[in-house]
Structure 1
Amino acid sequence: MIPEGVVEYFDIMDDGDIAEPPTFSCEKCGGIMKPKKYEGVHGITYEF
Structure 2
Amino acid sequence: MCGGDFMSKNPEEAMDFLSYVADVSRGWDEPTKGEVGKMKSQLNAYNAKAGM
| TM-score by shorter chain over 0.5 | no
Instruction: Give the TM-score of the pair, scaled to structure 1.
Output: 0.27
Instruction: Give the TM-score of the pair, scaled to structure 2.
Output: 0.25
* Structure of greater Rg: 2
